[in-house]
């Protein structure tokens, strides 16, 4: 965990534009003794190479490798801009975290930051914090993260219904009783058509009104049809942060292995919860490893300074060229696969020079994707390699 003195947090700041905001942050780093005056130009240069906007209103400007000699010691300058700063590409930054790092230690710092700010509600709370202490508490992850809500109060089995709207309402009631969603969420779910995942399983969620991670599930006693597809179960998700991704991966595993009948056929609430909480359905049920589905290949990071924001941006840009679903995992880190289209997730891997990345692609252009991504990694992702 990095150190963050209260004196490095600046609330209610204002800037005329992105350049002015970065200059203010750079000056604060200089005044705090973290960097020399020349570091400011390095931070501005970095933005021309790869924008440092992470998402959820957070930007993390920092210098180039060429201006690392301007860093005196590792430190941060955290600025809150309540009116927002136009960071380009229709992105607005409300929290700007300037980073001065002497070596590759900044990768660990970036990983810490991305895990904290991947929670949309935490990011919003940071933008509205009215004391440095409150903002620090949020930034340092001192606010307790609530576990994903999935227990017997969230599950309805063998419901005697014949329409999907009744299933929606049942799941919404459970989510509302758990205080996991707002009225915005309820309105969105009630008015939107659920997504069909396949094999009789439907999914409903909302981009707004997610208060905490929670999963509501309703299975039916007698399957019926909706939009020419069978309905065996409806899953409704309140997606407050990245924690719920393990559940989505679990559902994906069951679909791949054609085992989702284990959801709809199990009339025991506790065993159903146990099934969905387990981490590796394909292993538990004797199926083959997920690497047999799609294409998987490992590559070594050759960038001297690892996957900081510039090469990470290049990797994400390369991945976004393809329609296939692509995940990336750091075999020398946690080895947990992350969405290859998310800059925040790629940076959070904390991949350093020599670390092995596992790329998994699944889709019509998977082979081409693997080849192109491999070429990009081996060529340095826009940077010179040794």
How confident is the model over 238-274, as pLDDT tens digits? 986 656 767 777 777 777 777 767 776 656 677 677 7
Mean pLDDT, residues 34-42 = 95
Question: What per-residue confidence (pLDDT) applies to 103?
Answer: 73
Q: Residue 279: what pLDDT? A: 45
- Grade residue 290 by pLDDT with cuts at 50, 70 and 90: very low
Q: Is the pLDDT of residue 228 over 90?
A: yes
The predicted model gives 178-197 an average pLDDT of: 90
Chain-wide mean pLDDT for the chain? 84
What pLDDT does residue 294 have? 83
Distance of alpha carbon 50 from alpha carbon 60, whole angstroms: 11
Q: Which of 106, 282, 308, 355 is catalytic?
A: 308
Residue 111: the pLDDT is 67
Is 386's pLDDT higher than 90? no
- Residue 114 confidence (pLDDT) above 70: no
- In sequence order, the β-bridge partners of residue 220 are 159
pLDDT in the model for residue 267: 62
Residue 105 pLDDT = 61
Residue 298 in this model has a pLDDT that exceeds 60: yes
Quick one: tokens of 157? 């089995």
Q: Which of 151-155, 275-279, 311-315, 382-386 has the lowest mean pLDDT?
A: 275-279
**How confident is the model at residue 97, as a pLDDT?**
92
Q: How confident is the model over 297-318, as a mean pLDDT?
A: 87
Q: Which of the pair, 199 or 72, is modelled with greater confidence?
A: 72
Q: What is the pLDDT of residues 138-178, one digit of tens each?
A: 877 655 456 788 888 999 988 999 999 999 999 999 999 99
62 given a catalytic annotation: yes
- Predicted confidence at residue 119, as pLDDT, reads 63
pTM for this prediction: 0.48
DSSP E strands, the chain: 9-10, 53-55, 58-59, 75-86, 92-100, 155-159, 195-198, 201-204, 214-226, 229-238, 295-300, 325-330, 338-339, 356-362
Question: For this structure, is 106 an active site residue?
Answer: no
294: left (phi over 0), alpha (psi -120 to 50) or beta: left
CA angle 291, 295, 301 (to 5 degrees): 95
| 9 pLDDT above the threshold of 80 | yes
Long-range contacts of range 36-39, CB-CB < 8 Å, 24 or more positions apart?
36/70, 36/71, 36/72, 37/70, 38/67, 38/70, 39/63, 39/67, 39/70, 39/71, 39/100
Token digits of residue 303: 């960038």
- Report the relative pairing of strands 58-59 and 92-100 from DSSP bridges: parallel
Helix axes 18-31, 39-49, angle to 10 degrees: 140
């Amino acid at each position: 965990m990095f150190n963050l003195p209260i004196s490095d947090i600046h609330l209610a700041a204002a800037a005329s534009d992105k350049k002015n905001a970065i200059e203010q942050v750079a000056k604060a780093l200089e005044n705090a003794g973290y960097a020399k005056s020349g570091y400011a130009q390095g931070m501005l240069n970095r933005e021309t190479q790869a924008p440092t906007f992470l998402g959820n209103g957070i930007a993390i400007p920092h210098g180039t490798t060429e201006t690392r000699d301007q860093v005196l010691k590792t430190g941060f300058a955290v600025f809150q801009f309540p009116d927002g700063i136009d960071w380009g590409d229709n992105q607005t930054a409300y929290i700007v975290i300037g980073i001065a790092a002497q070596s590759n230690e900044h990768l660990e710092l970036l990983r810490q930051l991305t895990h904290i700010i991947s929670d949309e509600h935490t990011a919003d709370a940071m933008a509205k914090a009215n004391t440095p202490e409150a903002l620090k508490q949020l930034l340092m992850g001192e606010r307790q993260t609530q576990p994903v809500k999935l227990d017997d109060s969230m599950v309805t089995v063998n419901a005697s219904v014949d329409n999907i709207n009744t299933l929606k309402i049942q799941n919404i009631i459970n989510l509302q009783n758990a205080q996991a969603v707002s009225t915005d969420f309820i309105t969105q779910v009630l008015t939107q058509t659920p997504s069909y995942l396949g094999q009789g399983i439907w999914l409903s969620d909302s981009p707004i009104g997610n208060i905490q991670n929670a999963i509501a599930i309703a299975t039916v006693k007698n399957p019926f049809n909706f939009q020419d597809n069978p309905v065996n179960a409806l899953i409704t998700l309140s997606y407050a942060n990245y924690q719920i991704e393990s559940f989505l991966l679990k559902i994906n595993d069951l679909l791949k292995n054609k085992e989702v009948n284990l959801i709809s056929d199990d009339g025991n609430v506790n065993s159903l919860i146990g099934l969905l909480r387990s981490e590796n359905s394909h292993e538990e049920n004797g199926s083959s490893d997920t690497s047999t589905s799609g294409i998987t290949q490992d590559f070594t990071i050759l960038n001297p300074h690892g996957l900081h924001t510039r090469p990470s941006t290049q990797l994400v840009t390369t991945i976004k060229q393809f329609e296939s679903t692509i995940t990336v995992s750091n075999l020398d880190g946690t080895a947990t696969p992350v969405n290859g289209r998310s800059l925040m997730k790629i940076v959070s891997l904390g991949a350093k020079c020599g670390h092995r990345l596992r790329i998994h692609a699944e889709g019509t252009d998977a082979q081409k994707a693997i080849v192109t991504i491999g070429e990009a990694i081996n060529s340095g992702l826009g940077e010179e390699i040794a």
